[in-house]
Structure formats: structure tokens, C-alpha cells
């Protein structure tokens, strides 16, 4: 049975094209172009409380940069500068008196003309809300059960996989629904050649004989910012890392596996297609990386201070 998702914890206001609008009034027209054709680019960003009691946004500039790259790929012109978007993210958190939360910038084509060829003005909104553990508190500690999807990850020449575009997420939604209906927590999609690609909202890592492996970006996955942070943490800790393609059976035989993303943070995988991974719990390397990551986002790892932007 599918679990009923919890409604999100609302904030007071949402940033919409320069104005702070009450949550209930942040609406668009039903003929909003992006709603019909899936051409909206977005980001998912987290802010965390810091030791001084203030909040900070994790890798804000990298997320904003990716938002602009996604728009660039879609021939979409965001009518703001990157600095204005950075400020909008900080402003909406401040206005909601939040030191911790999830940020969702979204640029979309508004209403006006219709048809695939229409290029309506681009609007930008930044919403924020409190979002707990994406794959459950228990998942974060004990690991989740994953299914290899019957859906294939889309090809980079059908949908530019570097871009974080709403339309891409049909692929993920189908895979996720299939996995949830079958009683799993998450799905992993294989790429066109049958290699492990990524999960519906996370990148994938495995550990074997002390080395960390993750599929290369060139294979048509989203270049996750959490993935990048993990590669850096691992290198700094002297853990060997390899960006390399691997098959689903390699995943079955891994010593450890985990997924990572802004929403999911670092979530261990304890089972794939009913095969236990390692000891069936969070592995030691996963634990080590997860704990450095959680300290880094909360300002407790001075060497990663540059990843944080104060609200």
C-alpha cells in the first residue's frame, strides 16, 4: 500500500517576482504555459541552523548557478540576475523567520499565448517550507528499501538531463509511484545502456572494498550538488572515489550503498530488489560521510564554511 504523504508545513509568505505574497495568495492562471508543457526550471535548496543561532543556506550560489544553466539549456531567460535570486532566497527565509527549511525557486513561462511554440514571459517564484527527512527519519538512520525501476532514465538527447526541468520529473514520478505501490521506499532508474543512473530525486553511491563509486555525470544524470559535496568530503578524508558506470548486479553485491540529494540528504540503502546490501544497515563509510555532511551543513566543520551563506 502507498503511504499517504504528509502535507507540508506552510510558511507565511512566498516570494513572487519581487513581492512577498501571503502563502494562500501565491497563485497562477490555469493557462500558465509551463503547467501544460512542463517547461519550468527549479531548484531544491536547504537552509540549516548554525551554532550562532542564525541560519545558513547550503551551497546557495551553486544552486542558483544550476537554475540559470537549466534555464539556458531551455532557451528561457530569467529576468533577474543570479545575485537577485540569491537575495530572494535569503529574503523569503528572513520574512518567514526561518533559520531552517527547504527553498524551492521555480522559473516558469506565464500565461498569454498557447501552443508548444509560445514563449511567454518568464516569472520567478521562491517558496520555502519546513521539510523533515525526505525518506523518513528511520530511513536516514537505518536505510531504505529500493527497487530497480521498470522505467528507463530518459536519454540526454531526448531531455537534457543536466537541466532540472519540471517536465523531466514525469520519468521520476512514474518510477517512484511504481516503487511505492510495490512496497519499496524509492526507485533507481537504469540508463539507456542498462547501467545504474540515479534515483527519482537522488544520486547513487556504492562502496566496495573501501572505494566509493558513483555513476559519471556524462551518463546522463543530474549533476547533484550533494553528490559533489560528498566527492569533496571523501577526497579530503582520503577515501578513494571513482566516477564509474556499474550494473545493477554490482549494486546488489556492494558492501554499502546510499543515495544523496538536497531533500534526501544522505540516506543509506539497506536493500535493492530484495537483496540485502552489506549487513542490511548503514555501513561504516556511509556513516562517516553522513556525519561529516551533517556537521558541515550545520556549520560545525570549519573547512567547509565556504559552502554556507548566512540568511
The catalytic site residues sit at 164
Instruction: Tell me the residue ranges of DSSP E strands in the chain.
Output: 13-16, 19-22, 40-42, 45-49, 55-58, 101-109, 122-129, 144-152, 186-190, 196-199, 203-208, 211-214, 241-243, 256-261, 265-272, 275-276, 308-310
Piece of 24-32, 92-100, 223-231, 233-241 that binds ligand PPE (CB under 6 A):
223-231
Comparison of 88 and 222: residue with beta carbon closer to ligand PPE: 222
Binding to ligand PPE, residues 187-216 (CB under 6 A): 198, 201-203
List, in sequence order, every residue forming a beta bridge with 56; answer none if it has no partner.
Answer: 48, 310
Residues 6+ apart with CB under 8 A from 283: 207, 255, 256, 258, 268, 277
Please tell me the count of residues contacting ligand PPE according to CB under 6 A. 15
State in angstroms the smallest separation of the CB of 50 from ligand PPE: 20
State in angstroms the smallest separation of the CB of 187 from ligand PPE: 11
For ligand PPE, which residue has the nearest CB? 44
| Among positions 105, 261, 268, 283, the unique one binding ligand PPE when judged by CB under 6 A | 261
State in angstroms the smallest separation of the CB of 162 from ligand PPE: 11
Piece of 6-14, 116-124, 255-263, 297-305 that binds ligand PPE (CB under 6 A):
255-263
241 touches ligand PPE (CB under 6 A) = no
User: 197 in the Ramachandran plot: left (φ > 0), alpha (ψ -120 to 50) or beta?
Assistant: alpha
Q: Rounded to whole angstroms, how far apart are CA atoms 205 and 305?
A: 24
Site mask for ligand PPE (CB under 6 A), range 163-182, x = bound: ---------x----------
Binding to ligand PPE, residues 93-152 (CB under 6 A): none
Give CA angle at 93 (68, 125), nearest 5°. 40
Binding to ligand PPE, residues 40-79 (CB under 6 A): 44
Neighbours of 54 (CB within 10 A): 12
Amino acid at each position: 500500500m502507498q503511504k499517504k504523504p504528509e502535507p507540508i508545513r506552510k510558511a507565511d509568505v512566498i516570494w513572487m517576482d519581487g513581492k512577498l505574497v501571503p502563502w494562500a495568495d501565491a497563485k497562477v492562471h490555469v493557462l500558465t504555459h509551463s503547467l501544460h508543457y512542463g517547461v519550468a526550471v527549479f531548484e531544491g535548496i536547504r537552509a540549516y541552523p548554525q551554532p550562532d543561532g542564525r541560519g545558513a543556506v547550503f551551497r546557495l550560489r551553486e544552486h542558483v548557478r544550476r537554475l540559470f544553466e537549466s534555464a539556458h539549456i531551455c532557451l528561457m531567460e530569467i529576468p533577474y540576475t543570479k545575485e537577485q535570486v540569491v537575495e530572494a532566497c535569503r529574503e523569503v527565509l528572513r520574512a518567514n523567520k526561518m533559520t531552517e527549511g527547504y527553498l524551492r525557486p521555480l522559473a516558469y513561462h506565464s500565461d498569454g499565448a498557447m501552443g508548444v511554440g509560445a514563449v511567454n514571459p518568464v516569472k520567478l517564484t521562491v517558496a520555502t517550507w519546513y521539510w523533515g527527512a525526505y525518506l523518513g527519519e528511520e530511513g536516514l538512520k537505518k536505510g531504505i528499501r529500493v527497487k530497480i525501476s521498470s522505467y528507463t532514465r530518459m536519454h540526454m538527447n531526448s531531455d537534457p538531463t543536466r537541466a532540472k526541468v519540471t517536465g523531466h520529473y514525469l520519468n521520476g514520478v512514474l518510477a517512484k509511484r511504481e516503487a511505492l505501490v510495490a512496497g519499496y521506499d524509492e526507485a533507481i532508474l537504469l540508463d539507456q545502456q542498462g547501467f545504474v543512473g540515479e534515483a527519482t530525486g537522488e544520486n547513487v553511491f556504492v562502496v566496495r572494498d573501501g572505494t566509493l563509486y558513483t555513476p559519471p555525470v556524462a551518463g546522463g544524470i543530474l549533476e547533484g550538488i550533494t553528490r559533489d559535496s560528498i566527492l569533496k568530503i571523501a577526497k579530503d578524508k582520503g577515501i578513494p572515489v571513482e566516477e564509474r558506470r556499474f550494473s545493477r548486479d554490482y549494486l546488489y553485491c556492494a558492501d554499502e550503498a546510499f543515495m544523496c540529494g538536497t531533500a534526501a540528504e544522505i540516506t543509506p540503502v539497506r536493500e535493492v530488489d530484495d537483496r540485502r546490501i552489506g549487513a542490511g544497515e548503514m555501513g561504516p563509510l556511509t556513516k562517516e560521510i553522513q556525519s561529516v555532511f551533517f556537521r558541515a551543513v550545520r556549520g560545525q566543520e570549519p573547512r567547509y564554511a565556504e559552502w554556507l551563506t548566512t540568511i
